[in-house]
Structure 1
Amino acid sequence: MKLMFKGFLIGAFMLIPGVSGGTMAMIFGIYEKLLSCISSFSSHKKENFLFLVRFMMGSGASFLLLSRPMSILVNRFPSETSFFAAGAVIGGVPTVWQAAGDIRISPKSLFFLFLGILSAALFALLPPDLIRGEESGLLRFPIHLLAGILGALALVLPGISFSSMLCILGVYGFVLSAIGNRQFLLLLPFGAGVLAGIFFFTRLLEKALKNYPQQTHLVILGFVMASLWDIFRAASFMSTGLSFVFCLLLSASGFLLARFMTCD
């Protein structure tokens, strides 16, 4: 039940622009297990299958139940949702730091940390609608397949928001509308691309974590730290007075939620 609940929370956070599903999986302590289950599925089929099914039941339920209300919430209360999400990310930074092992501050470690920060910052500068998602007919299939493959990169790599990636690719509105209206057949090309991309990128990242664990974790930590800017960029900074105090309380709530979910 705890795994399903984590999957539900990760799915909910992914619906907030700027929040990375990979970051939340890392914060909740199941990121590397997810990578291992996907990239080495055939090694322990039953165990990996049951783990992935429980996780997807939670995250799938979150997408189905929360896609429409979360869209309304983000549009009406951008500052509140962004502060809550930022608090959760900050609360998970110690978990990501611990995953890197015994880190000694040195020019080498700082290089990999800033490499992650710089890479995430460059991603945030990409313009929206790099590819069009509103094409009709046969052209829609390859466009949505490509969008799914690139979207999978955001699912696998912490610090890159799946929602932000879909906005950049120009398919965010289409995907959210199709899920909200239960038009799942329209999502088949996109879903096929996501699955193909996940299997490809998880293998690459698992090899990096196995061969260069500390360096990879430091780059990931840089991604996570830089993602805070992407989250706050979606917020409205006009909040003052009691509204700003409420935002700070929500941020503290997100922080405490992240710390609670990292405790076994």
Structure 2
Amino acid sequence: MQLKQAFFASPGPQTKRDALVLAIKGVCMGVADIIPGVSGGTIAFITGIYEDLIAAIKSFDLTFFKRVLTLQFASALSEVHLRFLVSLLCGIGIAVVAMSRVMHYLMQAYPVAVWSFFFGLIGASIVVVGGKIGKLDVVRLLALLIGAVAGFIIVGMIPVYTPETLGFIFFSGALAICAMILPGISGAFILLLLGKYEFITGALKHPFNGENGLIILVFVAGCVLGIMGFSRLLNYFLKHHHSATLAVLTGFMIGSLRKIWPFKEVLETTVIRNKVYVLREQNILPGSMEDALMAAGLIVVGFCAVYFLERRMAKPGNAI
């Protein structure tokens, strides 16, 4: 089997339209991943590709690597979900390159509007995903509560300054990538908690300066190991404990609403490497009726966007 035939034999979108739709979903995931506090995993859930994403990552197993090492490239290529990942990663890459500056500006200039819109997105996601849990028995309710409490605590943790050793960079990559595919918990936010968001993004901006290449390589290695291991764990629970797993993930999203509440008051900050970090903040009520109505309107817009998207994805022939 030739490599081209093997590539098109691998699982993934069947038509150019399907590939384009999947890439657009990737763009949405990429935009979400830019913002610390918003998860690309949540967007994957919203757009109906979450379980496909986990399965695609899991397809890169020991058998694949054995075939690569024995030069059975076509055989290896036909088994992994490469076409799915290529389309999705193209969209994510486009978003990261094209939208990072835009989202940074919007977050700086209109933070309440951005957080309000995402609050609506995640609020609707909770309803959509929660509706797939089924009847809330004791086990599912306990799983939901565990997820909510864990999400609430994690997003309220204080960013810290941590070592810049290669071992800790590897650990940071492994942990951040796991969070990135969890709905409700952002990989970028985990890097903030670990004190490595500015450090890693700085290395990415100047990959050929000094030791930045080594830092990026070690970080990526941590990401690869982390996502390969964690995707298998998630895949197992989704297969064998589907409803309870959905309950935990829904709980994570409920808990994460603490971070995404639009109105905040900063209580304490610190400066590390000329960058201001928020140490403590608290959620507050809107300062005026005008602010409240604006936020409420954008929450409704975000909620409706997910609702109509979910309705469209539910129609036969629209799912990827």
TM-score by length of 1: 0.87
Give CA-to-partner distance per residue, 1:206-247, whole Å, 9 cap, x none: 011111111111111111111111212785655523333222
* Residue aligned with 2:160, SS: coil
Instruction: Show structure 2 runs of 5+ residues with no match.
Output: 1-19, 65-75, 266-283, 314-320
Task: Give the match for residue 231 of structure 1.
Answer: 260
Match of 2:197 among 148, 151, 172: 172
Matching of residue 83 in structure 1 with residue 102 in structure 2? no
Structure whose CA Rg is larger: 2
Task: Give the match for residue 258 of structure 1.
Answer: 306
What one-letter code is carried by the residue in structure 2 that aligns with 1:119? A
Matching of residue 66 in structure 1 with residue 99 in structure 2? yes
Task: Using CA pairs under 8 Å that are at least 6 residues apart, name the structure with larger relative contact order, 1 or 2.
Answer: 1
Alpha-carbon distance in 2 for matches of 1:229, 1:125: 8
What one-letter code is carried by the residue in structure 1 that aligns with 2:309? M
Alpha-carbon distance in 2 for matches of 1:187, 1:197: 15
Alpha-carbon distance in 2 for matches of 1:120, 1:202: 19
Matching of residue 106 in structure 1 with residue 137 in structure 2? yes
Matching of residue 115 in structure 1 with residue 146 in structure 2? yes
1:79 deviation in Å? 1.2
Task: Give the match for residue 183 of structure 1.
Answer: 207
Decide which moves more: 227-236 or 156-165: 227-236
Alpha-carbon distance in 2 for matches of 1:261, 1:13: 16
1:151 deviation in Å? 0.3
Identical columns (%): 31
Task: Give the match for residue 173 of structure 2.
Answer: 148
Give CA-to-partner distance per residue, 1:1-43, whole Å, 9 cap, x none: 1111111011101222211221121111111000001112459
CA separation of 1:118 and 1:130: change in aligned 2, threshold 3 A: farther
Aligned 8 A contact 1:115 1:219 in 2: yes
Give CA-to-partner distance per residue, 1:56-99, whole Å, 9 cap, x none: 00011111112223223212222111111111111222321243
Q: Within 5 A, what are the aligned runs for 1:201-216?
A: 201-216=230-245
Aligned 8 A contact 1:82 1:235 in 2: no
Task: Give the match for residue 56 of structure 2.
Answer: 37
Task: Give the match for residue 200 of structure 1.
Answer: 229
Please tell me the root mean square deviation across aligned C-alpha atoms, in Å: 2.3
Decide which moves more: 240-249 or 22-31: 240-249
Alpha-carbon distance in 2 for matches of 1:182, 1:65: 17
Task: Give the match for residue 41 of structure 2.
Answer: 22
* Residue aligned with 1:99, SS: coil
Aligned 8 A contact 1:7 1:55 in 2: yes
Alpha-carbon distance in 1 for matches of 2:77, 2:183: 25
The count of residues paired between Structure 1 and Structure 2 equals 255
Q: In proportion to residue count, which structure has more strand?
A: 2
1:190 deviation in Å? 1.6
Task: Give the match for residue 188 of structure 2.
Answer: 163
CA separation of 1:192 and 1:261: change in aligned 2, threshold 3 A: farther
Aligned 8 A contact 2:116 2:261 in 1: yes
Alpha-carbon distance in 1 for matches of 2:56, 2:159: 33
CA separation of 1:214 and 1:110: change in aligned 2, threshold 3 A: same
Alpha-carbon distance in 2 for matches of 1:253, 1:174: 35
Alpha-carbon distance in 1 for matches of 2:39, 2:250: 13
CA separation of 1:150 and 1:57: change in aligned 2, threshold 3 A: same
Aligned 8 A contact 2:174 2:222 in 1: yes
Alpha-carbon distance in 2 for matches of 1:111, 1:28: 26
1:156 deviation in Å? 2.4
